[in-house]
Amino acid sequence: MIQNAQFQYKKVLVLGLAKSGVAAAELLHELGAFVTVNDSKPFEDNPQAQDLLKKGITVICGRHPEDLLDEGFEWIVKNPGIPYSNPIIKDAINRNLPVITEVELAYLISEAPFIGITGTNGKTTTTTLIFEMLKNGNRNPLIAGNIGTVACGVAKEATKDDCIVTELSSFQLMGVQKFKPKIAILTNLYDAHLDYHGTFEDYAQAKLNITRNQDESDWLIYNANQKIVEQYVKDSKAKKVPFNSEQRTESGISADVSTIYWEGKPFIERSNIALPGKHNLENILAALAACILYGCEKEKMEDILKTFTGVRHRTQFVREWNGRKIYNDSKATNCLATKVALDAFTEPTILIAGGLERGHSFEELRESMKNVVGVVAFGQTKNRFIEFAQSCGISITKLADDVEDAVQKAAEISNPGNVILLSPACASWDQYPNFEVRGDLFIENVLKLN
């Protein structure tokens, strides 16, 4: 860890706990900052805050005092989920105080280079593939960010011989100032999180922070299948590496129906790849490009591609039950992700969907509902999703209270030969703390079917 002196003897406010807030507070305390943590959860119900207090960190819990910034803070480290409309954040910006997320903190103290992965969809699969291939190639990867350990916790232990492979959300990237990954990946850009960002332009600009500080010594891997992505990355100073899953190209990495090419030359036969789906081919191309640039041997990458079948909560096969195949795609928190999942199946499908109400339309799913024979909907959007399903000509529909109830109802309306697919098209936060909890409960209840 680099003993970054810029926080020593500085008053720093960590706003919001959860894993990232705790890790940031502990690291800043170790760096010699005077740390105050502010969290909305009451102290008596907040074991994380209690532990931080024992370590000598000032804790304010149960409320967000309006005059909090009068304490003379010089830095704000905020939880990525806290919007910039929050009164304390607005006050900090008005006072010209730097507002960062813990990813920036991780970068500032890390001896290891970063590979940063962002985009609307495909981040987790791409990140996991890079980590597994680099690990197989003895390149000392460490995984961090939205999967794995909080980034500043990983960076604290990393050495210059390691590499930090980091999945990054738009929320995290809004709070970076100097973050500069050696390799950046932009998987794709679609409408998402507009309730947080307000406009697609603001969302896209947050994503582009991943390459904002890159220069000619760095690489940017981007999706050349999307014209909008090409347009957004044109001003990046990094060396650009496009990936194209639709045709062979002479630059970057590309694929046709049989082969993956690196700089126009055959590299790997697609028959050696275990992970199915057109969308996953894009993830594979991005991951391969990163590993090639990082010096990983072809054979080590190919070994992983032959056996890698996906990540948890992303079109994850759970079990076969009485002739039905059941899949967990809880990570599908938007319509595009659910569309991709539906398009992967040709069998008659029972779709389980619904969740947090963000007011977004489900129309993007209409063409992909052709193989759906029944729908079970839960969460805040359940009534609206059922109306949409019925408008698609689906007559078998059920309302459910939660995931547990949805599993039972999907089992009841299904037949042998069907696929039962949890792919919510909505975030989980109306009923569950995250998509992982939602997916784990789905798996638990699927395994109870007898």
- State the DSSP string of 93-131: HHTT--EE-HHHHHHHH-SS-EEEEESSSSHHHHHHHHH
Is this prediction's pTM over 0.75?
A: yes
CB 166 within 8 A of CB 147: no
pLDDT at 269: 97
Q: Which residues are annotated as a binding site for ATP?
A: 119-125
Q: Which residues are annotated as a binding site?
A: 119-125
First to last CA, the chain: 52
Q: 163 is written with which tokens?
A: 């590499």
What's the pLDDT at 267? 97
Element (H, E) at 18: helix 18-30
Burial tier of 230 (Cβ tally within 10 Å: 0-12, 13-18, 19+): middle
DSSP labels for 403-443? HHHHHHHHHHH--TT-EEEE--SS-STTTSSSHHHHHHHHH
User: pLDDT of the chain along its 450 residues, tens only?
Assistant: 998 889 999 999 999 998 899 999 999 999 999 999 999 999 999 999 999 999 999 999 999 898 999 999 999 999 988 888 899 999 999 999 999 999 999 999 999 999 999 999 899 899 999 999 999 999 999 999 877 789 999 999 999 999 999 999 999 999 899 999 999 999 999 877 777 778 999 999 999 999 999 999 999 999 999 999 999 999 999 999 999 999 999 999 999 999 999 999 999 999 999 887 788 899 999 999 999 999 999 999 999 999 997 788 888 889 999 999 999 999 999 998 999 899 989 899 999 999 999 999 999 999 999 999 999 999 999 999 999 999 999 999 999 999 999 999 999 999 999 999 999 999 999 999 999 999 999 999 999 999
SS3 label, residue 309? coil
> Which residues are bridge partners to 351 per DSSP?
375, 421
Return the residue matching tokens 């759970």.
Answer: 318
CATH code matching the domain that covers 103-307, chosen among 3.40.50.10140, 3.40.50.1110, 3.40.1190.10, 3.20.20.70: 3.40.1190.10
Q: What is the DSSP string of 175-227?
A: T-SS---SEEEE----S--HHHHSSHHHHHHHHHTTTTT--TTSEEEEETT-H
| The CATH number of domain 316-447, selected from 3.90.190.20, 3.40.50.2300, 3.20.20.370, 1.10.10.60 | 3.90.190.20
What pLDDT does residue 310 have?
79
The residue ranges of every structural domain in the chain are 10-100, 103-307, 316-447
Q: Could you give the count of Cα atoms lying within 13 Å of 248 in the half-sphere of its Cβ? A: 13
pLDDT value of residue 311: 81
- Alpha-carbon distance values, 426 to 52, 171, 244 (Å): 34, 17, 28
pLDDT confidence of residue 314: 84
Q: Is the dihedral of CA 151, 155, 156, 162 positive or negative?
A: positive
Superfamily of domain 10-100: NAD(P)-binding Rossmann-like Domain (3.40.50.720)
Task: Give the DSSP H or E segment for 254.
Answer: strand 253-255
CA quadruple 49, 50, 56, 59: dihedral sign: positive
Neighbours of 182 (CB within 10 A): 19
